[in-house]
Amino acid sequence: MKPQTSAERDEPTLGEAQAFAQRHGLNSLKPEHVERLRQLIAPVAHFGQQVRRAEHKSDAPAPEFTVFKP
């Protein structure tokens, strides 16, 4: 039996994935897409928590980016 990662153990239920989709305006997703969303919620959340935050606000990226216009 293959050991599960922490991301695989914490997968949400189908109902939780449907509620998540509804909260984010994705009511028209096909059932197979909601199932894929359910499978991806835990791994994305896990890897998102690994992103380091800037210690000081002044070191963070700019909230707006402008395109260089020659």
Could you read off the pLDDT of 41-56 as tens digits, one per residue? Answer: 999 999 988 888 777 7
Structure confidence at residue 7 as a pLDDT band (50, 70, 90):
very low
pTM here?
0.60
What is the average pLDDT across 16-30?
A: 94
Does the structure show a pLDDT above 60 at 24? yes
24 vs 58, residue with greater confidence: 24
- Using CA of residue 4, residue 6, residue 9, residue 15, what is the dihedral sign? negative
What is the average pLDDT across 8-33?
A: 90
Whether the Cβ atoms of residue 13 and residue 41 lie closer than 8 Å to each other: no
